[in-house]
C-alpha cells in the first residue's frame, strides 16, 4: 500500500467575494459608485488642458451669502459706514465652510452655493474622492441650484445639470462655532472616562479649527475650589476674544460625581465614604467663579441681542439661520451621578434655580442606580455636539432625537430635562422626564408607589405591573386593588410618547410628577374579597367587566385568574 502523503494548509484570501465573479481584473479600491459622465460635461472631464486645482481656487470666489448682509434698517435708509459685523463669507476662516448635505469640509474652489436657498455643496477634489458633486460636472456656477431647489422649481421635469452622487438631504449644518467645555470631576474618580470621551469627540470635530475649542477639567477635592478656578484664566480670554469678534461661544458644564442617596446632593470631597455633599448651585459658584459665570452671561446676552440677517443671491431668506442669535451663546449643564440627584425635592429646587436665574438655558440630569460613565457617555457627548456643532438649539427636540436613536440608556436610568422657553415673549420653565416602558416591570416608564385603595400603604414590592399585548394594569398584592386596563400604544392625560413611530416605548411626563398622576390614569376598582372556589362569578364585578376579560383571556387563563382571588 503506497504511503499516505500529507498536505500542509496554505493561507488563501477571498477578496470580498470577488472569487465568485467572472473573469476580469480584481479591483478592491474605492467603494464609491462610478458615475458615467453624460454628453454635456464629458469634454470637461477629460480635456487635457483642464485647469488645475490651484487655478480653480484662484479663479472662483468664496461662496457666501450676498454682500447685502447688514443690520436691519428702514426702507430707503442709507447704509451707515460703521464697522461691519462678520458675515458668512468673512467667517469662513473662523468657523469653517462645511457642506450642508454631507457635513464634510468644502475645499476652496470645489464648493457651490445655491442661489435660491443658500445651501452649500461640496465637489470632489479628485476622482473617487469624497464629495456630493461629481468632479467637473458643474457647468454654470453662477446659477447653481441644489437638488432640493431644482426639483421644486419649474425645471423639476428636467435632468440635473450636474452629477449628484451624495446621499442624504439638508437637515443640519456643521460649523466649528467657538465652544468652551468645563468638566467637573470628583478627584477620587481617577479614570476620567466621561471627560476623556467628550474631549476626544470634540477634538475630532474641531481638528481643522482647534483655536475655536477650549476644554478644561477641574477636580473637586477639599479646599481646592480657588486653585482650580484659576485654571480657567485661559477660558476667560477665550470667551472675551470670541465675543469681541462677533462669535459668542457656547458653554457646556459636565459634572461627574456621586450623589447622596437620601438628600440627592452632590459629593465634592472624599471618596466613596467619608465625603461631603452640597448643592449643585454652590459647586458651580465655587469652582467656576463669579468672573467665568459673568462671561457666560455676556456671551448669551451678545447672542440674543444680535439682529443681523443673511440673504441669498436672490435676496431671499436662506433655508437655515446661521446668525449668532441662533448658533451661539447657549449654556448647558449636564449632571451625571449614581443616585437621586434629580428626584429629591430639596436638591431639585437648587437645579431649578439655575435656570430661573438665567445662568443656564438647559439642564439635563441623569440619576439612577445604574448611571455609569460608560453607559451615559454617548448621550452626553452627542448632546454637546448636536447643540454646539450642528446647531440643534432646541433642547427638547435634541434630547428626543438622541434617545429615540439610542434608548438603551433608559434601561438603567431616566432622563430629566429642565429648559427655558419663550411663550408670547415671556420666559417659561419646562421640566420633563423621559422614561422607557418595560412590560411587567414599569408601566409607562414610571414607578407607581401608591395604591388606589384609601388607607393602604404598600411597599414598592407590593405593586406589580401586568401586561396584555398593548394594555397594562397595576395591582396591589397587599390589599388586592387592581386598576383598569390602560393602553400603551396611545397618549393619555399624563404620559405622552416621545416618538410614536421610531420609539413607541418611550414616554415623557411633567416633572416633578403630580399627586394626580398616581391614580388619575387608572379607573379605580375596589379590593377583592375571598370567595369559594366553586363560585362562578367575581364578587363586586359587573357583566361588562367579565365580558372584557373573556375577550382577551383564554378559558384556562380565566380559571387561573379566578383561583388567584382566593
Per-residue pLDDT of the chain (566 residues; tens, 9 = 90+): 566 666 555 544 433 333 333 333 333 333 334 444 444 444 444 343 344 454 554 555 544 444 333 334 344 444 333 333 333 443 457 899 999 999 999 888 899 999 999 999 999 999 888 899 999 899 888 889 999 999 888 888 888 889 998 877 788 899 999 999 999 999 887 778 999 999 999 999 999 999 999 999 999 988 888 999 999 999 999 999 999 999 999 999 999 998 888 888 898 988 767 788 999 999 999 999 999 999 999 999 999 999 888 888 888 889 988 899 999 999 999 999 887 888 888 889 999 999 999 999 999 998 766 677 888 899 999 999 999 999 988 899 999 999 998 888 898 888 999 999 877 778 899 999 999 999 888 889 888 888 888 888 888 888 899 998 889 999 999 888 888 888 999 998 889 999 999 999 999 999 988 877 766 545 434 334 333 333 334 444 444 445 444 544 455 555 555 554 44
Can you read off the three cell numbers belonging to residue 415?
Answer: 432622563
Does 461 share its domain with 316?
no
Q: Is residue 282 part of a domain?
A: yes
Characterize the bridge pairing of strands 463-468 and 426-436. unpaired
pLDDT at 25: 39
Q: What is the pTM of this model?
A: 0.77
Q: Is residue 452 part of a domain?
A: yes
Characterize the bridge pairing of strands 308-309 and 276-278. unpaired
Largest separation between any pair of C-alpha atoms in the chain: 110
In angstroms, rounded to a whole number, what is the distance separating the alpha carbons of residues 72 and 186?
A: 48
Convert 334-344 to b/e letters by CB count within 10 Å (16 or more is b). Answer: bbbbbbbbbbb
| Domain C-terminal end among 171, 200, 229 | 171
In angstroms, rounded to a whole number, what is the distance separating the alpha carbons of residues 340 and 365?
A: 10
Q: Is residue 31 part of a domain?
A: no
For 78, 359, 528, the CA distances from 290, given in Å and listed in that order, are: 43, 11, 61
Does 394 share its domain with 296?
yes
Q: Is residue 49 part of a domain?
A: no
Is 328:247 a contact under the CB 8 Å cutoff?
Answer: yes
Q: Which of 391, 401, 377, 367 is nearest to 503 (CA)?
A: 401
pLDDT at 17: 35
Domain hosting residue 271, numbered range: 179-436
3-state helix, strand, coil in the chain (%, to 5): 30, 20, 50
Cα three-residue angle 44-49-54, rounded to 5 degrees? 90
User: Residue 500, Cβ neighbours under 10 Å: how many?
Assistant: 12
User: Residue 511, Cβ neighbours under 10 Å: how many?
Assistant: 19
Does 308 share its domain with 381?
yes
Does 292 share its domain with 416?
yes
Does 216 share its domain with 289?
yes
pLDDT at 409: 87
Q: Is residue 4 part of a domain?
A: no
pLDDT at 78: 40
Can you read off the three cell numbers belonging to residue 408?
Answer: 438603551
Does 431 share its domain with 466?
no
Does 151 share its domain with 217?
no
Q: Is residue 24 part of a domain?
A: no
3-class DSSP string for 278-328: ECHHHHHHHHHHHHHHHHHHHHHHHHHCCCEECCCCCCCCCCCCCCHHHHC
pLDDT at 81: 36
Question: What single string gives the DSSP state of each residue in 401-465?
Answer: HHHHH--GGGGT-EEEEEEEEEETTEEEEEEEEEEE-BTTTBBTTB-----SSTT----GGGEEE
Does 366 share its domain with 468?
no
Can you read off the three cell numbers belonging to residue 384?
Answer: 454637546
Does 304 share its domain with 353?
yes
| Domain C-terminal end among 118, 142, 171 | 171
In angstroms, rounded to a whole number, what is the distance separating the alpha carbons of residues 429 and 352?
A: 9
Does 287 share its domain with 342?
yes
Does 166 share its domain with 192?
no
Is 141:121 a contact under the CB 8 Å cutoff?
Answer: no
Is 437:444 a contact under the CB 8 Å cutoff?
Answer: yes
Does 551 share its domain with 453?
no
Number of structural domains, the chain? 4
Q: Grid cell 484659576 — which residue?
A: 230
In angstroms, rounded to a whole number, what is the distance separating the alpha carbons of residues 517 and 495?
A: 9
Name beta bridge partners: 164: 133
Q: Is residue 34 part of a domain?
A: no
pLDDT at 454: 84
| Domain C-terminal end among 136, 171, 206 | 171
Is 389:252 a contact under the CB 8 Å cutoff?
Answer: no
Q: Which of 259, 294, 296 is nearest to 182 (CA)?
A: 296
Is 304:325 a contact under the CB 8 Å cutoff?
Answer: yes
Q: Is residue 93 part of a domain?
A: yes
Q: Which of 397, 483, 380, 497 is nearest to 437 (CA)?
A: 497
In angstroms, rounded to a whole number, what is the distance separating the alpha carbons of residues 137 and 163?
A: 6
Amino acid at each position: 500500500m503506497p504511503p499516505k502523503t500529507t498536505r500542509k494548509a496554505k493561507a488563501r484570501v477571498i477578496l470580498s467575494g470577488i472569487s465568485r465573479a467572472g473573469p476580469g481584473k480584481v479591483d478592491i479600491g474605492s467603494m464609491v459608485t462610478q458615475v458615467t459622465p453624460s454628453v454635456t460635461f464629458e469634454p470637461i472631464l477629460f480635456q487635457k488642458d483642464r485647469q488645475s486645482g490651484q487655478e480653480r481656487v484662484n479663479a472662483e470666489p468664496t461662496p457666501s451669502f450676498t454682500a447685502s448682509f447688514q443690520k436691519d434698517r428702514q426702507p430707503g435708509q442709507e447704509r451707515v459706514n460703521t464697522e461691519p459685523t462678520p458675515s458668512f463669507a468673512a467667517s469662513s476662516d473662523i468657523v469653517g465652510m462645511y457642506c450642508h448635505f454631507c457635513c464634510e469640509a468644502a475645499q476652496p474652489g470645489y464648493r457651490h452655493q445655491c442661489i435660491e436657498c443658500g445651501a452649500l455643496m461640496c465637489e470632489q477634489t479628485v476622482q473617487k474622492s469624497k464629495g456630493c458633486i461629481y468632479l467637473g460636472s458643474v457647468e454654470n456656477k453662477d446659477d447653481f441650484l441644489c437638488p432640493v431647489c431644482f426639483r421644486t422649481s419649474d425645471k423639476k421635469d428636467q435632468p440635473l445639470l450636474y452629477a449628484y452622487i451624495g446621499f442624504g438631504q439638508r437637515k443640519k449644518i456643521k460649523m466649528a462655532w467657538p465652544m468652551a467645555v468645563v468638566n467637573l470631576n470628583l478627584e477620587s474618580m481617577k479614570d476620567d472616562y466621561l471627560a476623556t470621551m467628550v474631549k476626544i469627540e470634540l477634538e475630532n470635530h474641531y481638528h481643522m479649527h482647534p483655536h475655536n475649542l477650549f476644554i478644561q477639567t477641574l477636580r473637586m477635592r477639599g479646599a481646592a475650589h480657588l486653585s482650580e478656578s484659576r485654571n480657567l484664566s485661559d477660558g476667560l480670554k477665550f470667551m472675551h476674544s470670541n465675543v469681541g469678534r462677533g462669535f459668542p461661544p457656547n458653554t457646556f458644564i459636565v459634572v461627574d460625581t456621586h450623589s447622596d442617596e437620601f438628600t440627592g446632593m452632590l459629593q465634592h470631597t472624599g471618596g466613596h465614604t467619608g465625603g461631603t455633599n452640597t448643592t449643585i448651585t454652590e459647586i458651580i459658584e465655587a469652582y467656576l467663579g463669579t468672573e467665568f459665570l459673568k462671561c457666560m452671561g455676556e456671551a448669551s446676552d451678545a447672542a440674543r441681542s444680535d439682529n443681523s440677517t443673511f440673504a441669498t443671491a436672490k435676496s431671499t431668506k436662506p433655508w437655515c439661520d446661521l446668525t449668532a442669535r441662533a448658533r451661539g451663546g447657549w449654556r448647558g449643564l449636564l449632571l451625571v451621578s449614581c443616585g437621586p440627584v434629580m428626584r429629591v425635592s430639596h436638591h431639585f429646587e437648587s437645579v431649578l434655580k439655575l435656570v430661573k436665574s438665567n445662568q443656564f438655558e438647559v439642564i439635563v440630569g441623569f440619576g439612577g442606580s445604574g448611571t455609569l460613565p460608560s453607559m451615559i457617555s454617548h448621550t452626553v457627548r452627542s448632546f454637546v455636539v448636536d447643540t454646539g456643532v450642528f446647531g440643534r438649539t432646541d433642547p427638547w427636540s435634541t434630547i428626543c432625537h438622541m434617545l429615540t436613536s439610542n434608548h438603551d440608556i433608559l434601561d438603567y436610568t431616566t432622563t430629566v430635562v429642565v429648559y427655558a422657553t419663550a411663550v408670547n415673549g415671556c420666559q417659561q420653565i419646562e421640566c420633563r422626564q423621559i422614561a422607557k416602558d418595560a412590560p411587567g416591570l414599569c408601566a409607562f416608564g414610571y414607578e407607581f408607589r401608591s395604591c388606589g385603595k384609601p388607607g393602604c400603604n404598600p411597599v414598592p414590592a407590593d405593586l406589580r405591573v401586568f401586561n396584555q399585548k398593548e394594555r397594562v394594569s397595576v395591582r396591589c398584592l397587599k390589599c388586592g386593588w387592581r386598576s383598569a386596563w390602560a393602553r400603551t400604544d396611545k397618549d393619555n392625560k399624563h404620559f405622552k410618547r416621545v416618538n410614536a413611530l421610531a420609539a413607541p416605548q418611550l414616554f415623557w411626563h411633567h416633572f416633578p410628577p403630580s399627586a394626580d398622576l398616581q391614580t388619575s390614569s387608572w379607573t379605580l376598582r375596589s379590593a377583592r374579597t375571598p370567595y369559594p372556589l366553586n363560585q362562578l362569578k367575581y364578587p363586586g364585578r359587573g357583566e361588562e367587566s367579565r365580558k372584557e376579560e373573556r375577550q382577551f383571556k383564554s378559558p384556562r387563563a380565566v380559571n387561573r385568574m379566578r383561583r388567584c382571588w382566593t
